[in-house]
Every structure is written in C-alpha cells, then in structure tokens.
Amino acid sequence: MRQIARLPAQLVIKAVLATVLSFATPVFVDRHEYAKAVMDNIKNPNSENDATLRIERTKTERIALGIHIVAAGALFVLINTGLLLVKWWSDSGPKSS
C-alpha cells in the first residue's frame, strides 16, 4: 500500500525530470521559409519584411516546442521503462539463502 501512495509523487518527479532534460537540449529547426525571411529582412529592412520574419519565427518556435514536448514524452517513457527493468532485474536476481 505504501508504494501505491508514493506512485503519484514518483510519476511527477519523473515527468519533471524528463521535461527539464528535453528543454535543456537545444533543437535545430532548419526551415527554408525562415532563412528566406531573414535574408529578405537583412537586404531590405521594412515593416512588411519584419512582419514576415515575425510570422516565420513564430512557426519555427512552435515546431521547436512540439519537438521538445515529444522528446519529453519519449524521455518519460524511457525513464519509466529503464527503472522498471532495473527493478525487475534486481528482484529476479540471485537469491541468497
């Protein structure tokens, strides 16, 4: 019963750890549209190019956020699977009589 009561706290800790690790890792998003908007803004800085650059930057940041969220979910699953395998392996190890 005691382990069941600790389960929500353990899951929250693992979720926070997975989220921190996923957001600490940089994500590189290479988009042609964003690169074109940057180059257009450098060549001819005007309000239209600034607006286009802001829109493309927002799209790129959303893609990066989505990658971070997927990475956090994958890390959460990997952490739980790894700890489950370690627990299973240590429980089924050699028994001393």
| Tens digit of each residue's pLDDT (9 = 90 or more) over 33-46 | 999 999 999 999 99
The string of pLDDT tens digits covering residues 3-29 is: 677 888 889 999 999 999 999 999 999
CA trace torsion 10, 13, 15, 18 (10° rounding): -120
Helix, strand or coil, per DSSP, at residue 45 = coil
- In sequence order, which ranges of the chain are alpha helices (DSSP H)? 2-24, 32-43, 47-91
* Whole-model pTM over 0.95: no
Rounded to whole angstroms, the Cα distance separating 93 from 47 reads: 68
